[in-house]
Chains A and B, each alone.
Chain A
Amino acid sequence: DADVTQTPRNRITKTGKRIMLECSQTKGHDRMYWYRQDPGLGLRLIYYSFDVKDINKGEISDGYSVSRQAQAKFSLSLESAIPNQTALYFCATSGSNRDRDTDTQYFGPGTRLTVL
């Protein structure tokens, strides 16, 4: 969905480096999410944010941190990247008035991260 953008789209880094993945949305949604997907597996929730002042851990938050700089921006950081964090990372948003009770999520195109 072009309304949710992620940068970079691909990144190769080395063990121990700090990495930031960025997500921006123009849908006007208040809720944002970060997921990771490993090959052949489903998505696992890392962090989610109800609004700028509300950030919550998801299923697999260890080794990650996030920052909600504005309603439209939600960044994911790997403070010290390790090889098993190699994965496809997706940002998602939800929360327009019509969808508020049903939480339909709109996903970005993903960031492919490789940690050597």
Chain B
Amino acid sequence: LAKTTQPISMDSYEGQEVNITCSHNNIATNDYITWYQQFPSQGPRFIIQGYKTKVTNEVASLFIPADRKSSTLSLPRVSLSDTAVYYCLVGALFSGGYNKLIFGAGTRLAVHP
């Protein structure tokens, strides 16, 4: 089971870069790493996904080292609206079933003025 470990909470200020690291020591060969964002009383929303090295899109970057045992979500210049819970998810369709699609408690990010 690809268990993930993230910090429970983080605090930041507007305009700063925020890096949230997720540990997934027993990641399988076919597993992708996906990050979701969730606002209160809303469903999680896809942010970014990667397999190895670095992925960047319009909202975030994802850094994955060569051993893939961890990953870091990087949010550049956060604003108050980035206050949310961020989940790291490890799994894939062909890697052993959906029991691997388990959301942990996530990281609660609070952005302050």
CB of B29 within 8 Å of the partner chain = no
B43-A108 in contact (CB<8A) = yes
Binds A, one of B14-22, B59-67, B73-81, B86-94: B86-94
CB of B49 within 8 Å of the partner chain = yes
A109-B43 in contact (CB<8A) = yes
Q: How large is the interface on B (under 10, 10 to 19, 20 to 34, 35 or more residues)?
A: 20 to 34
B62-113 contacts to A, CB under 8 A, are 87, 91-94, 97-99, 101-106
B87-A42 in contact (CB<8A) = yes
Alpha-carbon distance between A57 and B71 when the two chains are bound, in angstroms: 29
B102-A107 in contact (CB<8A) = no
Among candidates B42, B44, B91, B106, residue contacting A103 with C-beta atoms closer than 8 Å: B91
Among candidates A43, A106, A109, residue contacting B103 with C-beta atoms closer than 8 Å: A43
Alpha-carbon distance between A107 and B36 when the two chains are bound, in angstroms: 10
Nearest to A92 among chain B residues (CB) is B43
Contacts A101-B94, A102-B32, A103-B92 given; indicate if A44 touches B102 (C-beta within 8 A).
yes
Smallest CB-CB A-B distances: 7 pairs: A107-B43, A42-B103, A43-B103, A42-B105, A90-B43, A48-B98, A103-B93
Residues of B at under 8 Å CB distance from A?
32, 34, 36, 41-46, 49, 87, 91-94, 97-99, 101-106
Given A104-B46, A107-B43, 19 more contacts at CB 8 Å?
Answer: A33-B101, A42-B102, A42-B106, A45-B98, A56-B97, A56-B98, A58-B99, A59-B102, A100-B93, A101-B32, A101-B94, A102-B32, A102-B93, A103-B92, A105-B44, A105-B101, A106-B46, A109-B42, A110-B42
